[in-house]
Amino acid sequence: MSMSQPSPAQLADSAFNTAQKQFDIAADLLQLDGNLRDILRNCKRELTVHFPVKMDDGSVRVFEGFRVQHNIARGPAKGGLRFHPMVTLDEVKALAMWMTWKCAVVGIPFGGAKGGVVCDPKKLSLSELERLTRRFATEISIIIGPDRDIPAPDVNTSPQVMGWIMDTYSMAIGHSVPAVVTGKPLSIGGSEGRLEATARGAVDVIVEAAKYRQIPLKGARVVIQGFGNAGSPLASFLHQLGSQIIAVSDSSGAVHNPRGLDPSGLRMYKRETGSVVGFPNSEPIDPMRILDLPCDILVPAALESQITGRNADRIQAKLIAEAANGPTTPEADEILTERGVFLLPDILCNAGGVTVSYFEWVQDLQSFFWDEGEVNERLERIMIRAFRSVLQTAEQYKVNMRTAAQVLAISRVAEATRTRGLFP
């Protein structure tokens, strides 16, 4: 790791600070009452657990995990669970806060939560992963539930992980509770369209933003940082619209071809080899360098704090679409705004995942399921409406899209908090 780049731990530690800075900018514009400001810039609950897991060799390892609920004024808490070696409580708090604003900006009746376990799932066997998941689910069962806090997949977690959590919770309750998590396999109450929802929602707003900024999607050069649950299908959707995917990266490295990469071939290659590195007809490139490539659309779809004050002046994209959570720091936002780069903020751009999670939750509660066409149609309607509301707010307050999305979301959460009042 070069001396100029902060460590992943340092990046994670700055995440909640970033979230609070973004909040303060919007709160100032809204002239938010000091008491409300104190409530909304802090998390409601923070649970830290340390739990033992029996490994395949008979040894026992103790893991650390977190579940944070930021705000529940507008409904049950909602947010993903990530399994990653660099998970910190600070990072999880930031992600929980962003989830609150994300749910509010698209108008779904959830508050924000997030969770994680400090582990490297790639170094665990399937049975070890299952035991870890079930034990963690038991530890956080004191605050989760279909009407309290509904986890979902995130970095390094999958529909199968959600299935184990649903089963563990259901066994303790004594009956099946499919609505306790979303992002489950279809066989146990998952929703059609959930796997690709984040990418599909991002494309819905990219299409609207491209129209607004007069960027033709046919032939547009696209760079995607992170070829995972969001980045991979997003590449395919944009390719279908005629865009050229010129570079992608994953946790192992990055590849580049100025004439374009084939997303379906790339997906098959990664499934076979575990990485995009070495993909035929591509050149290797430094993963951080792909952010600087000349392109029309840049999609950060990896982790937090990737575009910072150190590299924002080198970004050459006309449009940035944040498929990841918190990839841009406040310092970078200022630089990008000054340079006229149009940015679709995370709480708008990647809200397709939580929107279809909401659809899944509703379907589970009603035991009545929709087909994929209906799911996608409802998603598109919500994403376009949210984009237009944020754009209108940006024009009204004469601010960038990030601040506009925050202003819109915070005003909705503040109104709910104010209306409910304080108990007792």
* DSSP-assigned letters across all residues of 15-68: HHHHHHHHHHHHHHHHT--HHHHHHHTS-SEEEEEEEEEE-TTS-EEEEEEEEE
SS3 369: coil
Portion of the chain with pLDDT greater than 70, in percent = 97
The three-point CA angle 340-319-298 to 5° equals: 130
Model pTM?
0.92
pLDDT on residue 260: 94
pLDDT tens, position by position, 45-69:
999 999 999 999 999 999 999 999 9
> What distance in Å separates the CA atoms of residue 363 and residue 151, rounded to the nearest whole number?
16
**Residue 4: other Cβ atoms inside 10 A:** 8
User: Which residue intervals of the chain bear CATH 3.40.50.10860?
Assistant: 8-27+42-178
- 249-301, pLDDT tens digit by residue? 998 999 999 999 999 999 999 999 999 999 998 999 998 899 999 999 999 99
Greater model confidence, 102 or 303: 102
The listed CATH number (3.40.50.2000, 3.40.50.2300, 3.40.50.10860, 3.30.990.10) that belongs to domain 8-27+42-178: 3.40.50.10860
Answer yes or no: are the C-beta atoms of 98 and 346 closer than 8 Å. yes
Question: Catalytic annotation on 318?
Answer: no
- Please list the residue range(s) of the chain that carry CATH number 3.40.50.720: 197-349
Active-site residue, from 93, 114, 184, 270: 114
DSSP code, position 7: P
Q: What is the mean pLDDT of residues 128-148?
A: 98
How crowded is the C-beta side of 89, counted as CA atoms within 13 Å? 10
Among 188, 311, 299, which Cα is nearest to 245's?
299
**19-46, pLDDT tens digit by residue?**
999 899 999 999 999 999 999 999 999 9
Tokens describing residue 126: 């399937």
d(CA 32, CA 98): 18
Question: Can you give the pLDDT at residue 1?
Answer: 34
pLDDT tens digits, one per residue of 308-317 = 999 999 999 9
pLDDT at 10 over 60: no
The angle formed by the CA atoms of residues 232, 235 and 239, to the nearest 5 degrees, is 145
pLDDT score, position 288: 84
d(CA 347, CA 337): 17
CATH T-level fold of 197-349: Rossmann fold (3.40.50)
